[in-house]
Structure 1
Amino acid sequence: MKLNSTVLLTLILLILMLGSGSVSAFWGFTLGSAALKGVTSPDARPTNKFASSKSAKEQHTGLALLKEDEILKIVKSRIEGKTKAAKSKKQDDDDEETNNSKKKREEKPLQVAEEEKPQAGFPINTESEGVSISVQSARFSGGALLLKVKMQNKGKDSVRFLYSFLDVSDDKGRTLSASTEGLPSELPANGPTYSGTVSIPTALLDDVKRVSLALTDYPAQRLRLEVSNIPVER
């Protein structure tokens, strides 16, 4: 009786141990499966490697290498294109320069003719002690009356002038302000002809028909140059 109880107890213990072991194994398998879920092993099959290599090769087939003769043709065509463009630009520049030169040659005689064509009533000359002054023209331009003047000294001594002492008056005896440009401060003896301009503001000439100039040398004041009744035409 005592032996049967020992055997029975031993069997019960074995059953409990097997049951607990089975439960532990199942629980461990379940946890391991959950932990490795979504994890895949690398594909080491040779066929897959070959397929991947082939796919990569197909992706790189888009880069086509040109042949040497095709490259030479492209370079030659580009060089010829640039050469033609440069020649065309040079030809255009030459044509433009030729046209401008031709235009200048055509305009120059006209300008010379206009300058040489005397204005009616001009020139008006005066001379003193071998020194002469000549008013060539009187025209309005840029808000002023411009008197073209020429001066020359045929005497034996040089003559100096101070143009701030230039007297300019109208036909009513009123003194007018004026400025000079290009006239020499000294005329050498037996010297060349000098040209310049006397400018009178238009605002001072509303009712003026004639103006006069008077100039003396400085500081000796040995001579006096007077040009009277210069016509003013608008």
Structure 2
Amino acid sequence: MKTNSTVALTIALLSLMSLAGTASAFLGYSLGREALKGVTQPDISPTKKLSNNNPESTDKELKILLTEAELLKQAEDIINGKVIPEPIAESENPENPENKDEEGAISSEQGEEETSAEKSSDLSDLGEILPIKDSDRGVTLAIVEGKQEGSSLVLKVDLKNESEDSVRFLYSFLDVRDDQGRALSAITDGLPGELPANGKNFSGTIKIPTALLEDAKELSLTLTDYPDRGLELNLAKIPVKR
């Protein structure tokens, strides 16, 4: 009896579960159908849309197409000279960028050469008035040559000691000024730190940047011995001609 009642209870539960599942599916379907009412599928046919919106364009495109016989007839007419084909317009040849670059480089080089020539003409080589010199206590300082090298005015100078004692110089104390009293930076090269008393010439150079000489008309140099400063060599009125 217990076995029969258990089987009956199991069957009853399965039946209830089946009914509940069926009812749930039906309810979901009904709710979904109600939610989608009024929704329609859009017209997604591009061919139909184009044909409806612009029928004239389609007709024009179809009219452009020619049959094989018409194409052969046109070709035959052109060969026989009955029809003169329209010439193809030749596009203007653009400037060759390489030639343009070359012309730009040439003009740039010419400009640099002209600028360099102008700078060279601004500064006199001092050939007409050299040497410019001064002596004190048997020591002589002379400018024997002046020229432009690159961006500097280069003065070649000679030092000579005809006294009885050697003389020492510290060239960082060399004072270079223009006619307006402005101190100019200068670099010395080759001049001896100690000048022996043997009467021989010792040569060196004094370099002055030409950028500092744009407004200058004359230069002056002052050199004293070190550390005594007992003698003083002055070279004045060194012209910077234009």
Report the TM-score when normalising by structure 2: 0.47
Give TM-score, length-normalised by structure 1.
0.49
Q: Which has the higher helix share?
A: 1
